[in-house]
Amino acid sequence: MPPLLEVSDLECRYGNKVILESVSFALNEGEVACLLGPSGCGKTTLLHAIAGFQPVYRGRISLADSTISTPAAITPPEQRHIGVVFQDYALFPHLTVAQNIAFGLKSLPKAERESRVRELLQLVQLQSFAQQYPHQLSGGQQQRVALARALAPRPRLLLMDEPFSNLDTELRRSLAAEVRHILREEGTAAVIVTHDRSEAFVAGDKLGVLSGGLLQQWDTPETTYRRPATAAVARIVGDGTLLEGKLLQPDLIETALGRVHLPSAIEAPAQQLQVFVRSEDIQPGEHADAVTAQVVARDFLGSDTLYKFRLPGGRIIEATLGAEFQFAPGSEVPLRIVAPVVFTP
């Protein structure tokens, strides 16, 4: 079966400035993809190009095997069968929840329109709020109304631009999971733009990491986290420190945080490598490969404690350790790396 959405060698520009370059990926029916990256990396431009709001300078966008954007021709947004949920929700303040959801269903017979609205109210768990107005709802409830309104006409694809950015951290994570459930229930594919990796991990079947206008990686969230394609991807999907590494043997690297034995040999054209170390990948304890570091600071996080250590060369590195480890500032602790990500030149 061909993919629902296919983006091929896409380039977008604002004037002479290149915003996106050589972007290619595919999304299947029913899949949810998250576009993750820092501000200015091109996430929203890509979303707008898919929606038809942004012309393309080069490449092609296809939906359901029909080309909808090329440099020579562009299908108008209203003819793409694509739903859009904006960052500010864009609800009509003078319409009730039910009327907002029904807004895009004017062409349906009244009975069918009312049936679809009831179905969506139940799906987003807002049955008792049908006659209330947007200003009477919480941020999370407004988000669900916006989602229901976008889903009402049964679009082939849903686009969501930073949909949880106005909510607090805990609500963002729970609503991301709820949105994924709703999309699965509807069987609707979606592309969600976010700068929050926890949202992307929870909501997405696929994760696209953008940096510098390039799609650095397109894979499952778990694979992207465990096997990032580049150092830029590693920094975006997880906190950590990038260290220089020297290849001593095909399966042995020396770093400022000690020696690292690799599970398999690597073929590198040069001895110098980059080693990305996450805070949870540092382990204290006496070991032949460990180095002695000094505790600079500690922050209690509940079940874990975040430590800052000064390595022998003066580099500061962070480590997240469990409650079984208790080190006072100024004390010296042997540390080693247990699961680094290694990037070859």
| Residue pLDDT, tens place only, 13-52 | 999 999 999 999 999 999 999 999 998 999 999 999 999 9
pTM recorded for the entire structure? 0.90
Q: Residue 271's pLDDT is what?
A: 75
CATH, residue 254? 2.40.50.140
Weakest mean pLDDT among 114-123, 172-181, 294-303: 172-181
- Average pLDDT (247-274) is 85
Q: Residue 331's pLDDT is what?
A: 96
Instruction: State how beta strands 32-36 and 189-194 pair.
Output: parallel
Which of 196, 212, 234 is at the close of a domain? 234
Neighbour tally for 131: CB within 10 Å: 10
Residues 220 and 253 reside in one and the same domain? no
Residues 267 and 159 reside in one and the same domain? no
Residues 10 and 154 reside in one and the same domain? yes
Q: Residue 175's pLDDT is what?
A: 84
Give yes or no for a contact between 105 and 152, defined as CB atoms under 8 angstroms apart. yes
Residues 32 and 180 reside in one and the same domain? yes
Residues 255 and 311 reside in one and the same domain? yes
* pLDDT tens, residue by residue, 290-318: 999 999 999 999 989 999 999 999 999 99
- Residue-averaged pLDDT of the chain: 93
Distance from the first to the final alpha carbon of the chain: 37
- Cβ neighbors of 72 (< 8 A, separation 6 or more) are none
- Average pLDDT (200-210) is 95
Print the SS3 string covering 255-272.
ECCEEEECCCCCCCCCCE
Confidence of residue 208 (pLDDT cuts 50, 70, 90): very high
Residues 266 and 334 reside in one and the same domain? yes
Across the chain, which distance is largest between two alpha carbons, in Å? 76
User: Domain containing 326: what range?
Assistant: 239-343
Residues 292 and 315 reside in one and the same domain? yes
Residues 271 and 228 reside in one and the same domain? no
Q: Residue 170's pLDDT is what?
A: 72
Residues 262 and 224 reside in one and the same domain? no
Q: How far apart are CA 97 and CA 76, in angstroms?
A: 28
- Cβ neighbors of 168 (< 8 A, separation 6 or more) are none
The domain tally of the chain equals: 2
Report the share of the chain in percent with pLDDT over 70: 99
Residues 154 and 257 reside in one and the same domain? no
- Average pLDDT (195-219) is 94
Give yes or no for a contact between 280 and 325, defined as CB atoms under 8 angstroms apart. no
